[in-house]
Structure 1
Amino acid sequence: MSKEFAIVDLFAGPGGLGEGFSRAGRNADTPMKIRLSVEMDDHAIHTLRLRAFLRSFDAFPKEYYDSLNAGRPLPDWSDLYPGNWKSALSEARQRVLGADGVFEELAFELDRVREDHHGDTILIGGPPCQAYSLVGRSRNKGKSDYIPEQDDRHYLYREYVRILDRLRPAAFVMENVKGMLSSKVDGGGIFSKVLEDLETAGDGYRLLPLARTAPADGSRAPARDFLIRTEEHGVPQARHRVIILGIRKDLCGGRTFEEPILGLPQKLVPVGKVLAGLWPLRSGLSKGDSAEAWQTALKAQASIIANLEEVPAQIREIAFAVAGTNDLPHLRASRWKEATNGMPEHLGNWFPDVRLKATVHHETRGHIPEDLGRYLFSAAFTSSLGKSPKLAEFPEQLKPRHRNRDSGDFADRFRTQAADRPATTVTSHISKDGHYFIHPDPMQCRSLTVREAARLQTFPDNYYFCGPRTKQYHQVGNAVPPYLAWQIAKAVQRLLG
Structure 2
Amino acid sequence: MPKNFAIVDLFAGPGGLGEGFSRAGRISDSQMKIQLSVEMDDHAVQTLRLRAFLRTFDEFPDEYYAALKAGKGMPDWQSLFPAQWKHAEDEVRQHVLGADGVFDELAFELDHARESRHGDTILIGGPPCQAYSLAGRSRNKGKADYVLEHDARHYLYREYVRILERLRPAAFVMENVKGMLSSKVDGGGIFHRVLDDLEAAGDGYRLLPLASPIPADGSRANARNFLIRAEDHGVPQARHRVIILGIRTDLAGNLPAGLTLLGGPQPSVTVDEAICGLWSLRSGLSRKDEADVWQETVREQAKRIAASEVVPDEVRAIAQAIVMANDLPQLRQSGWRGETTGMPEHLRAWFQDPKLKINLHHDTRGHIPDDLGRYMFSAAWTRVFGRAPKLTQFPAFLQPEHRNRASGAFADRFRTQAADRPSTTVTSHISKDGHYFIHPDPKQCRSLTVREAARLQTFPDNYFFCGPRTKQYHQVGNAVPPYLAYQIGKALLGLIG
Partner of 1:117: 117
1:235 aligns with 2:235: yes
* Counterparts of 2:213 and 2:27, CA distance in 1: 29
Q: For structure 1, list consecutive stretches of 5 or more residues without a partner in the other structure.
A: none
1:324 aligns with 2:324: yes
Partner of 2:376: 376
3-state SS in 2 of match to 1:406: helix
* Counterparts of 1:27 and 1:418, CA distance in 2: 34
Partner of 2:70: 70
* Counterparts of 2:181 and 2:12, CA distance in 1: 22
* Counterparts of 2:412 and 2:266, CA distance in 1: 29
Once the two structures are superposed, residues 50-84 of structure 1 have per-residue CA deviations (whole angstroms, 9 ceiling, x without a partner) of 00000011111110011113323110101111111
3-state SS in 1 of match to 2:315: helix
Once the two structures are superposed, residues 8-30 of structure 1 have per-residue CA deviations (whole angstroms, 9 ceiling, x without a partner) of 00000000000000011114211
1:38 deviation in Å?
Answer: 0.0
1:2 deviation in Å?
Answer: 2.3
3-state SS in 2 of match to 1:6: strand
Once the two structures are superposed, residues 369-393 of structure 1 have per-residue CA deviations (whole angstroms, 9 ceiling, x without a partner) of 0000000000000001111111111
* Counterparts of 1:438 and 1:3, CA distance in 2: 46
Equivalent residues of 2:255, 2:495 under 8 A apart: no
Equivalent residues of 2:314, 2:384 under 8 A apart: yes
Once the two structures are superposed, residues 438-466 of structure 1 have per-residue CA deviations (whole angstroms, 9 ceiling, x without a partner) of 00001100000000000000000000000
Partner of 1:35: 35
1:109 deviation in Å?
Answer: 0.3
Partner of 2:100: 100
Once the two structures are superposed, residues 303-330 of structure 1 have per-residue CA deviations (whole angstroms, 9 ceiling, x without a partner) of 0000001110000000001011121000
* Counterparts of 1:416 and 1:255, CA distance in 2: 44
Partner of 1:452: 452
Residue identity opposite 2:23 in structure 1: R
* Counterparts of 2:81 and 2:257, CA distance in 1: 47
* Counterparts of 1:21 and 1:408, CA distance in 2: 42
- TM-score normalised to structure 2 length: 0.99
- Larger mean CA deviation between 305-314 and 251-260 belongs to 251-260
1:342 deviation in Å?
Answer: 1.5
1:255 deviation in Å?
Answer: 2.2
The sequence identity of aligned pairs, in percent, is 73
1:397 deviation in Å?
Answer: 1.3
3-state SS in 1 of match to 2:259: coil
* Counterparts of 1:142 and 1:293, CA distance in 2: 42
* Counterparts of 1:374 and 1:232, CA distance in 2: 32
- Kindly report the root-mean-square deviation, in angstroms, between the aligned alpha carbons of the 2 structures: 0.8
Equivalent residues of 2:215, 2:258 under 8 A apart: no
- Larger mean CA deviation between 254-263 and 344-353 belongs to 254-263
* Counterparts of 2:257 and 2:186, CA distance in 1: 36
User: Aligned runs of 1:81-230 on 2, under 5 Å?
Assistant: 81-230=81-230
Once the two structures are superposed, residues 266-318 of structure 1 have per-residue CA deviations (whole angstroms, 9 ceiling, x without a partner) of 00000011112100000010111100110011100000000001110000000
Equivalent residues of 1:13, 1:479 under 8 A apart: yes
* Counterparts of 1:182 and 1:368, CA distance in 2: 39
Equivalent residues of 1:209, 1:221 under 8 A apart: yes
Partner of 1:270: 270
3-state SS in 1 of match to 2:296: helix
Q: For structure 2, list consecutive stretches of 5 or more residues without a partner in the other structure.
A: none
Residue identity opposite 2:229 in structure 1: R
* Counterparts of 2:164 and 2:90, CA distance in 1: 20
Runs (4+) of structure 1 exceeding 3 A deviation are none
1:434 deviation in Å?
Answer: 0.2
Residue identity opposite 2:2 in structure 1: S
Equivalent residues of 1:7, 1:32 under 8 A apart: yes
Partner of 2:404: 404
Partner of 1:304: 304
Aligned length: 497
CA 1:2–1:214 in 2, change beyond 3 Å: closer, same or farther?
A: closer
- TM-score normalised to structure 1 length: 0.99
3-state SS in 2 of match to 1:5: strand
3-state SS in 2 of match to 1:139: helix
Equivalent residues of 2:132, 2:154 under 8 A apart: yes
1:335 deviation in Å?
Answer: 3.3
* Counterparts of 1:254 and 1:67, CA distance in 2: 50
Residue identity opposite 1:193 in structure 2: R
